[in-house]
Every structure is written in structure tokens, then in C-alpha cells.
Amino acid sequence: MKLYEMLRKAQEPKGYHFNRDRELVWDLLAALLLNRERYGYRCCHCRLAAGDRDRDRDIICPCAYREADIRQYGSCYCNIYVTHAWN
Ligand code: SF4
């Protein structure tokens, strides 16, 4: 998947890895793409979107909570992004 490779190249050097469960990652990326069609931006599929870009700014993937969640739990809320150690 083109989006997977694009994001992997951009995020891995920053320490954000995709979950090694590829099937889960495909499903989550497909859901993000569906949200892009639905709202015009890739808002998080694990959260309730308002449908307004400004109000949803914090939940556009990668969301504003990813860094703190990865630091604390080793994964983002949806488990798409994880640390190397988590994998
Ligand atoms: S980084 Fe994870 S929790 Fe945040 S928007 Fe993306 S998939 Fe959802």
C-alpha cells in the first residue's frame, strides 16, 4: 500500500513504527482513508469526529496524543503506531 510506505519512511526515523500485525495496520489505514473521503482529512477512526477540521485538529492522524501515549504505553491509542520495543 502506497500510504503505508509513505508513512513508514516518514515516521520510522522519528521512532514511530507500524504495529507488526500487518493485517491490523491495513485495516486501520483503510479506515483512515475512509475518513479522509468522509471528512476531507484523515481523522482518527478510534475517536468520535466532529466533522469540522478545526475542531478535529487534535485527532488528525498522527494525533496530538500519539507522542505522550507512545512514551507512556509504547503504542498510540489505536495501536497502529508503536515503539520498536513494543513490536
Ligand atoms: S496516531 Fe493512533 S491514536 Fe492517533 S490518530 Fe493515529 S491511529 Fe489514532
Position 87 scores a pLDDT of 96
pLDDT exceeds cutoff 90 at 15: yes
Q: Which parts of 1-87 fold into alpha helices (H)?
A: 2-11, 22-39, 66-73
Q: Residue 1: what pLDDT?
A: 75
DSSP for 5-23?
A: HHHHHHHGGGT-EE-S-HH
Q: How far is the CA of 44 from the centre of ligand 1 (A)?
A: 5
Beta carbon of 82 within 6 Å of any ligand 1 atom:
no
Q: Is the CB of 25 inside a 6 Å radius of any atom of ligand 1?
A: no
Pocket lining: 16 vs ligand 1, CB cutoff 6 Å? no
Ligand 1 contact via 7 beta carbon (within 6 Å) = no
d(CA 8, CA 58) in angstroms, rounded, equals 21
| The pLDDT of residue 71 | 97
pTM of the shown model: 0.93
Q: What is the mean pLDDT of residues 35-45?
A: 96
Write the pLDDT tens digit of every residue in 44-72: 999 999 999 999 999 999 999 999 999 99
